[in-house]
Structure 1
Amino acid sequence: MGESIGIRERARGALRGELADVALRLFEERGYDETPVDDIASTAGISPRTFYRYFGTKEEVLFGDLPPTSGDLPALLQDHLTRLGPWESLHQTLRHVAENIRTERGRWSRLLRVVNTSDSLRAGHLEQQMNLAQSLIPTLAPAIQGQAAWRDLRARVLVYTALTCFDTAFSHWAEHEGDIEMLEALDIAFATVPNADSAQS
């Protein structure tokens, strides 16, 4: 029984990936706003109703995989906080995301180009980042030293700064086909910011 469920999940994941590839190609050719769900479904050989079984919205075709999105990041951050300071914990948490995406530079480069052509997509990406920040801030705040009244503020600053480091490093890596590696880009981005762990009081 468990094996059959696993097979179904793999098949579902494969079709979801195929739909995302079809959608991305159409977005590149026609533009995101000019490509309705009906066209994506028709090109993929399925009905619009089937499309919505795999993606709740057209935006989700892009943002469902656009990193960092992992639902386990708060737990991963909490684990790092048992051994590391807040800033380095955020670094290592986002490094985990970077490790999972570094083999698909071409796909991410294409995806970012599509996002950057649409105001609605840029706004959606910002909303995604804000939602992720809100999931990380409550985990980080208790680990912040100093007056309790300022812990939430400091946690917000650190989380948003860390996500900016990730987003900037990710874009730089995806747009360059040279010797730049995602992990290296992320490490350099974090190193550019003075170490907030040593600045806590």
Structure 2
Amino acid sequence: MDESIGIRERARGALRVELADVALRQFEDRGYDETTVDDIATAAGISPRTFYRYFGTKEDVLFSDLPPSSIDLPELLSEHLARLAPWEALHQTLRNVPESVRAQRGRWSRQLRVVNTSDTLRAGHLEQHLNLAQSLIPVLSPRLGGPAALDDLRARVLVHAALTCFDTAFSHWAEHEGDIEILEAVDAAFSTFSSADPAQS
């Protein structure tokens, strides 16, 4: 890669992070629904047009790298299914998310607290999870070993239950940061349904 291109890309990445931090502070101070792109641009000392070079919408500031969509989970689930039962494979797949980006967990908790204050954002977060579920179900279904139609149903139930466990644990941790570790919350949520593996029933 041309060195000048690498420098520009790093500079662009740094500005994107800085802009996201400014936007997050605005959301926390003013409320997400009350904050406009113009407000964010003004606070960052840029034009709205420049904002849109980095984010398609103000919602993208929160969702572009909000876990678990920031990780290639279908591939990770496939790897875990090679050696683990379905529910435990889902557990370990989603457990990998906070482990892999531990350094950003403070920002995660702030983002999720903002998401939980807005009906619009909660709906967007649900849509994100539904899209993620659609990518995981075809990976899990063939590993359940029963009639195809029932395996698809069971895979849907297991995947949605796993994502609910992750999301509930993540929200609980964000609201109680300092009292509980995120991995502890994830493990506790999944252990609630520790007998969910078809192989154990």
Contact 1:133 1:160 in 2 (8 A): yes
Give the superposition deviation at 1:45.
Answer: 1.6
Contact 1:105 1:174 in 2 (8 A): no
1:110 counterpart = 2:107:
no
Unaligned runs of 5+ in 2: none
Query: What percent identity do the matched residue pairs reach?
Result: 78
Give the superposition deviation at 1:157.
Answer: 0.5
Give the superposition deviation at 1:109.
Answer: 2.8
Contact 1:105 1:173 in 2 (8 A): no
Rate the CA distance shift 1:194–1:71 in 2: closer, same or farther, 3 A: closer
Partner residue in 1 for 2:132: 132
Residues 24-173 of structure 1 correspond to what in structure 2 (within 5 A)? 24-70=24-70, 72-173=72-173
Partner residue in 1 for 2:8: 8
Q: How far does the alpha carbon of each residue in 1:165-193 deviate from its partner, in whole angstroms, 9 at most, with x for none?
A: 11111111122133421111111111111
Unaligned runs of 5+ in 1: none
2:180 aligned counterpart, secondary structure: coil
Give the Cα separation in 2 of the matches to 1:149 and 1:68. Answer: 27
1:184 counterpart = 2:184:
yes
Rate the CA distance shift 1:99–1:71 in 2: closer, same or farther, 3 A: closer
2:145 aligned counterpart, secondary structure: coil
Contact 1:102 1:181 in 2 (8 A): no
Give the superposition deviation at 1:140.
Answer: 1.0
Give the Cα separation in 2 of the matches to 1:189 and 1:102. Answer: 19
Root-mean-square deviation over aligned CA pairs:
1.9
Give the Cα separation in 1 of the matches to 2:182 and 2:195. Answer: 20
2:58 aligned counterpart, secondary structure: coil
Contact 1:145 1:200 in 2 (8 A): no
Give the Cα separation in 2 of the matches to 1:105 and 1:97. Answer: 10
Give the Cα separation in 1 of the matches to 2:23 and 2:91. Answer: 32
